[in-house]
Amino acid sequence: MKLALAQLAVEGGAVADNVDRAVAAIDRAAEDADLVALPEIFNIGYFAFEQYHRDAEPLGGETLSTIAAAARDNSVAVLAGSIVEDLGATAARTDAPVPDDEGLANTAVFFDRDGNRQAVYRKHHLFGYGSTEQDLLTRGERTPVVEFEGFGVGITTCYDLRFPELYRELVADGATLVLVPSAWPYPRVDHWRVLQQARAIENQCYVATVNGSGSFGDATLLGRSTVQDPWGTVLAGSGDDPTTVTATVDPERVRAVREEFPALSDRRL
């Protein structure tokens, strides 16, 4: 399977322009990709906290409807990762389960090749260090794993990388590829690199991190979107400029690594 990570230039609060860039990236990547992943809060910009309430949308809102259409038009799966979701509006307009009937969530959505919503992941671990995310957002509760092209695809978001137990839960549910939309800033480059490699090694699965590119006041996203294989080997990666990272991933590689070095079966729970 060909995976494409769209490391977008994200402009704070410029929703229409950011969504246009996302659609253009999907159109380009779909020429040879099966799955395209977008960064965290790619439409508003993670650090544009003052605009969360103004630009929040339900699952059936304009941003996700546009991304679903791009997936359908290109016959490519897309992880729209993520938007600021208006939970109350979602509860009123769809039958999708929500953690609460009001408030906001950091929500990633997996669309299949037909533009159908197959998984909804709301960020579990909300960042509190120099951030207002914990004050603005509601934590997610569900950890979906969706089947696609022979993979069990799990989703986590940015800060979730620091919490290995979440990845264990996904692997127990059949995840063999974990997509990680992010808005990871400088200066924590070493943490970004080591944490994603550790999650891949300890869970013997692919981990693909798709970060944004751009500056928001004092915060600058570090880019470096990366695909790690189940042995913790980097298959593809980038610098901090806008780009698309591509890699071929194979579910048989996961099975081979787990069979050759069966560390997961040696766990004592």
Catalytic positions: 40, 123, 158
CA angle, 107 then 113 then 116, to 5°? 50
Q: How far apart are CA 246 and CA 249, in angstroms?
A: 10
DSSP code per residue over 71-94: HHHHT-EEEEEEEEEEHHHHHHH-
| Among 224, 253, 256, 249, CA closest to 235 | 249
Residues forming beta bridges with residue 105, ordered by sequence position? 85
| Among 134, 64, 55, 141, CA closest to 98 | 141
Residues 6+ apart with CB under 8 A from 163: 124, 125
Using DSSP's 3-state secondary structure scheme, residue 140 falls into coil
Q: State the Cα torsion 67-65-16-142 to the nearest 10°.
A: -80
Phi, psi of 245 (to 5 degrees): -95, 130
